[in-house]
Structure 1
Amino acid sequence: MNLSFNDAELEVVRLAAGREGMSPVSWAGRQVMAVAQHVLVPVSRDAGDVLRELVQARVHLRETVTALRALTADGPPVAGLAETAATVVAQALGAVARVDEGTVQVMRERRPRS
């Protein structure tokens, strides 16, 4: 099988392969197989941007939860801090769940490729 890319596309492939320590040919082959096996589902550029934003929000929320849990686990308890932190952790976990649901919804609503 032969693949052809313009210069800009080839640079994107080279950068992606480099991030994963792979040759561009190996990286492209792995991506083709992932799509063929329905492990990787291609999405439009707009949907991809939305998904990336949701994933970044999810990562940020999980980091926030971790930091808040550390506040309640370290050092002497400060009056009311544990309860406040527990409330904020619960809210952050709820936000993570909503971001997860939003991500799944965007993936379900993608248009089938024709």
Structure 2
Amino acid sequence: MDLSFNEAELEVVRLAAGREGMSPAAWAGRQVMAVAQHVLVPVSRDAGDVLRELVQARVHLRETVAALRVLTAADPPVAGLPESAATVLAQALGAVARVDEATAAVTRERRPRS
């Protein structure tokens, strides 16, 4: 089997291999095997950007939910806060669920590379 890369692609491979302390051939071979064994699912560059954004949003939403839970569990509760905080908490949990679903959908994407 032969793999060929143009100069720009080869530079990307060299950089990636260097980050992991591997030769370009070993790194490329490992990636090819991971894709062939469905361990690594390639996604388009745009989908990768979207996935990174979704992961960041997910982390932020989970931090928001944790902070809201602390506020709603305060003893004594802050006057007027528990009811409105409970509503915001429910909305944040719904947002987390939607971001989780979107993240899973992007992760499952399998576009052929051209």
Cα drift, residue 32 of structure 1: 4.5
Q: Could you tell me which of 16, 21, 24 is aligned with 2:22?
A: 24
Identity across matched positions, percent: 72
Cα pair distance change 1:76/1:37, threshold 3 Å: same
Q: Whose radius of gyration is greater, 1 or 2?
A: 2
Segments of structure 2 that go 5 or more residues without pairing to the other structure are none
Spell out the pairing of 1:1-114 with structure 2 (5 A cutoff). Answer: 6-15=10-19, 17=20, 23-24=21-22, 28=27, 31-113=31-113
Matched length: 107
C-alpha RMSD of matched pairs (Å): 3.0
Cα pair distance change 1:42/1:77, threshold 3 Å: same
The one of the two structures with greater contact order (alpha-carbon pairs below 8 A, sep at least 6) is: 2
Q: Please, what TM-score do these two structures have when normalized by structure 1?
A: 0.69
Deviation string, structure 1 residues 24-61 (Cα, Å, up to 9, x no partner)? 35x93664443232122111111111111111111111
Contact kept in structure 2, 1:61 and 1:95, CA below 8 Å: yes
Contact kept in structure 1, 2:51 and 2:106, CA below 8 Å: yes
Contact kept in structure 1, 2:68 and 2:89, CA below 8 Å: yes
**4+ runs deviating over 6 angstroms:** 1-5
Segments of structure 1 that go 5 or more residues without pairing to the other structure are 18-22
Counterpart Cα distance in 2 of 1:76 and 1:85: 14
Cα pair distance change 1:10/1:2, threshold 3 Å: farther
Letter paired with 2:100: D
